[in-house]
A = this chain, B = another copy of it.
Amino acid sequence: MNPHPFDTAIALLHEPPDRWRGRTSEDYWNMVSPFGGATAGAMMQAMLDHPERRGTPLSFTLNFLAPIEAGEFAIDTELVRANRSSQHWAIRLSQQDKVLAQAIAICAVRRETWSQVEATRPEVPPADKCEIAPPRKATGFLQRYEFRIVRGKPFAVNDDSLSHVWVADNPPRALDFASLTALCDSFLPRIFLRRPDFVPIGTVSINIYFHAGEEALARQGAAPLLGVAQAQAFSDGHFDHHGHVWSTDGTLLATTQQLVWYKE
């Protein structure tokens, strides 16, 4: 059985102690560089694979510095500080010694406490009652996700940019922290929900807080996740969005923000 294309995209060769070598994947190619989610997933995976890693991801923030070219890349992981319950990491991706992406992340041991989810999941039909959207265009990575749009018509003038979309890896793949990281970057850029014409865009920063542990991810398996996102502001060449990722059984898996450059 061939490996899943996402596993190929984030496959890394470890050069101990702290360097990892990978290769961009055509399957997750975007227009001029790899899909940011695949880059984020590879950087997350380097941290997860590190023999010193303890606990599970809690917070992950990635800034994209410049376009990554097709071919080999290196990831350097640094365990900056650790105590019994948490670890702080810095992670950089480079090509020819030029840093092209930098992340800071926290892993922590999850423990039982008083808990309460305050965000509310929108009422939507189950994924299998929603139509699969036709691929938006032919670039690689969009074919690697199956989108079922419940709210928010792409490339149209909507009253707001709020969207509700079921999303799943294509072909199906059991959820883990690397794929959840990538899925957090699979939201349609909000500007395409407010303006009908294509404008050049590029994510410059993505932030993810993980609200659930390995058990919730294992429970989800390969079933579609519900993504909810809305922009706060489009101003002076950048817009943001704030998003939620829900499991099929209604668990809030992650909250995520990103900041996106746009041309005009």
Contact = CB atoms under 8 A, between A and B. Distances in A.
Interface of A: 58-59, 61, 63, 65-66, 80-81, 83, 86, 88, 90, 98-100, 102-104, 106, 108, 110-119, 160-161, 194-195, 204-205, 207, 209, 211-213, 230-238, 240, 242, 244, 252, 255, 257, 259, 262-264
Q: How many copies does the complex hold?
A: 2
Given A65-B81, A80-B102, A211-B235, A259 B59 contact: yes
Q: Most chain-B CB neighbours within 10 Å: which of A88, A100, A110?
A: A88
Contact of A255 (B160, B213, B237, B257): B257
A58 B63 CA distance: 12
Contacts of A204: 58-59, 86, 106
Tell me the dominant secondary structure on chain A's binding face: strand
A88 B101 CA distance: 9
Nearest to A191: B114
A242 to B, nearest CB: 6
Given A61-B63, A119-B232, A205-B209, 20 more contacts: A59-B204, A59-B259, A61-B205, A63-B106, A81-B99, A104-B104, A106-B259, A111-B236, A113-B236, A115-B233, A115-B236, A116-B233, A117-B232, A117-B233, A117-B234, A118-B233, A119-B233, A209-B257, A232-B244, A242-B257
A3 B59 CA distance: 37
A234 B86 contact: no
A104 B63 contact: yes
A232 B160 CA distance: 21
Nearest to A244: B232
Contacts of A252: 232-233, 235
16 contacts: A58-B259, A59-B204, A61-B207, A65-B88, A90-B102, A102-B104, A106-B204, A113-B263, A115-B234, A116-B234, A118-B230, A118-B234, A119-B233, A209-B259, A211-B233, A240-B255
